[in-house]
Every structure is written in C-alpha cells, then in structure tokens.
A and B are shown apart, each in its own frame.
Chain A
Amino acid sequence: MKTDSRLEKVLKTGGLAVTSECGPPRGAVPEKIREKAAMLKGYVDAINVTDNQTAVVRMSSLAACIFIRQMGLSAILQMVARDRNRIAMQSDILGAYSHGVDTMLCLSGDHPKFGDHPMAANVYDIDSVQMVQMVKQMRDEGTFQGGGDIENPPKMYIGAAANPFADPFELRVPRLAKKVTAGVDFIQTQCVYNLDKFERWMAQIRERGLHEKVHILAGITPMKSAGMARYMKNRVPGMDVPDELVNRMAGVPKEKQGAEGLTIAVESIERLKEVKGLSGFHIMAIEWEEKVPEIVERAGLLPRPEV
C-alpha cells in the first residue's frame, strides 16, 4: 500500500469502489457540510469535496474535508490549478494530510469566466498532470517540488479526472496515459451518459493495458428533470448527453422525471458493472446528495466493505 487511504484499501480488495461528492456551502455554515456528509455515511467509501466548482466561491475544500474527517468519514480533497500556485498547493497538501486527509484529486479547474468572479486572475502555475507529478514526488521522494526535504511527507493517494467525451476523442486515452506516466493512482471520469462511447473509450484503455496501472471510476450524475438533461447537453462544455436520454426524460410527466433520472442512473451502473477494467463509480448527485443512498442500494453496491 502506498498510503492509508480508505479508497486505496477498497480498490485493493478488487471489488467495485463507490465515491460521491459534496459541494461546500456559499457561506461559513459547517452544518451544511455535516448534513450532506451524514447522508452519505455507510453508502460510499469516500467523499470528494469540490474546490470552488464552476469557479464560484465556496467554503474551501480543505476546510470542508476536515469537517468530514472529524465525522470519521474519508474525504477526497479536490484541488484545481486555477486558484493556487505550487507554493499554496503544497502548503495546503501538508495541511490536509496533517488533518488526516490522505486522498486527493488533481484538476485543471473550470475557467473563471464561468464563475462569480470572471474578473479574477487565472493562476495555472502548473497543470493537472504536473500536479500529479508534484504530489507523487512529495509522497514517494519526500521532497517538495523545489527540491527541499519534507518532514513527515504527506502520503496522498492521488486521483485525477478524465473526460472521455471531450474532443479530440482520439486524444482522450493518450491524455489519460500521460496522467498514468505522471503517477496517478485513480481516475474519476466526467458524467457518463453516452454509454456506447464510454465503452469504446474503455476498450482503448484496455488495449493499452492502462486499466492495470490505474483504477477508473465512472462518473454518474442522476438527472433531476428534462430541463437539466437539455442544459447538460447544450450548455455544459465537454458533456455528451444522447438525444434518446433527453427524450426519455421528457417523455414522462414532470413530477416523475426525477424518479426516471434515478432509474437511468441505476441502469447505467448496472450496465457499466460489466465493463472489464472498470474499478467503481463516482456518484455526483448535484445538490441532490440525499438520493445517493437510493442509487447505491438499487444498483446493488451495498454493503460497502469494511477495510
């Protein structure tokens, strides 16, 4: 084992791992984080905490991860390259690890243009691939990127994202391969709606044997309504929602669309369980965390292993 990460231990068992995520509140309200995390207790192996997602200011991922740790749950610190230079990143990683946060996700981050501070400076000192390299160096060599020794190096289990649906498609596996070369341990993908395309992507992963070097968790996001399906399809960059899915959501009465969205999520998991080389699921129920237990249960992913 490289780390004490609960996610690493679950993945080591060879069973399917389940992670989910919490978006921190837009205010100093720790109880919101505790409420969301409490809903997920016992249903997932670890909880991602987003880092100012869509470039909108929220409580810091690090602070929210600490609250989750204090509840005895496992937190995954998300960190984007948009807001911090390498000095701030490494400092936060030391802080996180000191609080028992031993798993993180290295991301580029959404451009500030999409957020509530489009006038903010864009940092991008390093990119997500270089962030993976840096965290691995801190863990395995016990040194900062600048070369200095670290006292008690942070043993972080290192994750990154992959979007099989962005363009150019032919570059999606090579880009993942770069993250593997950089030293990533696990991957959480963009929300999977186009299952055929995802399976084609996974086939390419297996062809190159990458599934033996990195654990891949498929992203699942239940849709609340036909409106959300259309929004995801047309307005979210890099999202691939097939027409048939939008039509299926639109084909049921409004008050039943949420239930239909949950059923689609469960069906997706059932089908993807059969995909060779897949290591689990990352369920992102956006402001709908209370539905995660139902999805996990209906998809037959309970009980979560004791590790």
Chain B
Amino acid sequence: MITAERKPMEEIMGYVEPCQRILLVGCNECVTVCAAGGRKEVGLLSSALQMAFMKSGKVLQVKELTLERQCDPEYVEELVREIDGVDAVLSMACGCGVQEIARRFRDKPVFPAVNTSFMGASERQGVWAERCQGCGNCVLGLTGGICPIARCSKRLLNGPCGGSTGGKCEISPDVDCAWHLIWERMKALGMEKSYEQVMPARDWRTSRDGGPRKIVREDLAL
C-alpha cells in the first residue's frame, strides 16, 4: 500500500488560515489502512482545526467527506455536490488523490494534509516499512523475494557493501541490511549459486528516470 503521515498542524494551518469554509476529504484506501487519512483521521483533524480557529477567535466551517478512492475520477466526481461555497479543499489522501481533485476542480485550491511516504507493508501494529520503489522491472524473482532497490540504502544489485554489520545496514542499527536478508533467503531456498551471477547495470527508463510513467491498456481503454 501507499503509506502517508499527517503533516504538522502548523503547516496545515498555514494553508487553511485564510479560509472560512473548507471541504476536508479523506480516502478509504491506503491512507485508511495506515491510519493517516481515513474517516477517523478526517474527524480528528476537523476537530483540531476548528479548535485552533476558535482559539484565535475565528470560525472554520468544515465539511467532512471520505471517498471510496480519491485517485479515481469516478469517486472524485462525488465532490461536485459538496464543493460549491468552500474556499478550499484539504485532502488527506496520498499525492495521487490530491492531484486528482486538482485536475477535476480547476478553480478550487486543494491542499495536502498528509506527506505521502512510500510503498510499503505493515511490519507490526503501528509500524510500516518500505518494500517497493516501483522501478517498473521487478527483480524479486532473482533476489529471493526481497528487493535490493527499495531496501538497500545504496540500491546495490550485486551484494552487500562493506558496511553490513550483524545483519544491519551501516546507516542505522534500525535498518536491516537487505543483502543480508537476501542471502539468508537464498540459502533457505538453495539459491546460493545464483548469487554469483553478476547483475548487469539496469535500464532505469522503466523507473522514474524515464520521465513520468503511464500505463495504457488498449484492451480496457474505451
């Protein structure tokens, strides 16, 4: 999923301070799962903003709404009924959702209430960690199901650097060495021999380096 964290209150206040009425929009997908921008967080932020306004003797009207998916035009269309009369939209979705609202409602300011972080998985209750960088050319079949591009701090493709110590990365004892994990998996799977095949330089065009990406499925396009 796409993970996110709510922005600091001061930054959000900086965006909405001049407003009197806002539409606060959550998303029922990834940001709900990582507890950053679902219905519950919309409610909490709404109260916090109204209290902050009251403290400075002002009033903020907040319309709350949580869409099924903010990155999908079909659901964003639901905002048509709500958006008239508000000064701005405050979105708690990932950057994709914010941009979809900006695309649909060209004359309405839209502000992000969260920082979109990474594509990751839940390690345990309340902890998420990066797993994928969306490079567009998956190597997991060669690396025992652990991604060196997303999980090695130097995205090395041919093994651990000289800074790997006790299974941890040189940048922090809180970061696992991806190549240590890969090697342990390779041993468990009897893939040790494949380690010595040199992985050649990558073609990063399938990644962000090739410019903004787009998927066109002729079979599905109308």
Residue numbers of A with Cβ under 8 A of B are 81-82, 86, 108-111, 113-114, 122, 124-130, 133-134, 145, 161-163, 166-168, 171, 174-175, 177-178, 181-182, 190, 237-238
Contacts and interface: CB of A to CB of B under 8 A. Distances in A.
B123 interface: no
27 contacts: A108-B156, A108-B161, A108-B162, A122-B154, A124-B156, A126-B201, A127-B155, A127-B158, A128-B158, A129-B158, A129-B198, A130-B158, A130-B199, A145-B201, A162-B162, A166-B160, A166-B161, A166-B164, A167-B165, A168-B160, A171-B179, A175-B159, A178-B159, A178-B198, A237-B163, A237-B165, A237-B170
Interface string B177-211: 10110010000000000011011111010000000
B20 interface: no
Given A82-B154, A124-B154, A167 B177 contact: yes
B166 interface: yes
A108 B170 CA distance: 13
A238 B154 contact: no
B165 A111 contact: no
A125 B122 CA distance: 28
A161 B204 CA distance: 26
A260 B195 CA distance: 42
Contacts of B161: 108, 128, 163, 166, 238
B154 A108 contact: yes
Given A113-B171, A238-B170, A178 B158 contact: yes
Contact of A168 (B154, B180, B201): B180
Contacts of A108: 154, 156, 161-162
Q: Is the interface of B mostly helix, strand, loop or mixed?
A: loop
Interface string B136-170: 00000000000000000111111111111111001
A233 B112 CA distance: 46
A81 B154 contact: yes
Contacts of B172: 113
A145 B201 CA distance: 9
Range, interface on chain B = 20 to 34
Contacts of A238: 161-165, 170
A233 B116 CA distance: 38
Contacts of A128: 156, 158, 161
A163 B180 CA distance: 15
Contact of A166 (B155, B165, B201): B165
Contacts of B171: 111, 113-114
A111 B168 CA distance: 14
Given A111-B171, A161-B162, A238-B164, A171 B154 contact: no
Contacts of B159: 129, 171, 174-175, 178
Contacts of A167: 160, 164-167, 177, 180
B201 A133 contact: yes
Given A108-B161, A166-B165, A168-B180, A174 B196 contact: yes
Given A122-B154, A238-B161, A238-B162, 14 more contacts: A108-B154, A109-B154, A113-B172, A127-B155, A127-B156, A128-B158, A130-B199, A133-B201, A162-B162, A166-B163, A167-B164, A175-B160, A237-B163, A237-B170
A146 to B, nearest CB: 10
Contacts of B183: 168, 171
A125 B161 CA distance: 15
Interface string B58-88: 0000000000000000000000000000000
Contacts of B153: 111, 113, 122
Nearest to B153: A111
Interface string B86-110: 0000000000000000000000000
Contacts of A237: 162-165, 170
B164 A168 contact: yes
B80 to A, nearest CB: 40
A163 B162 contact: yes
B221 to A, nearest CB: 34
A110 B171 CA distance: 9
Nearest to B155: A124
Given A167-B177, A175-B159, A130 B201 contact: yes
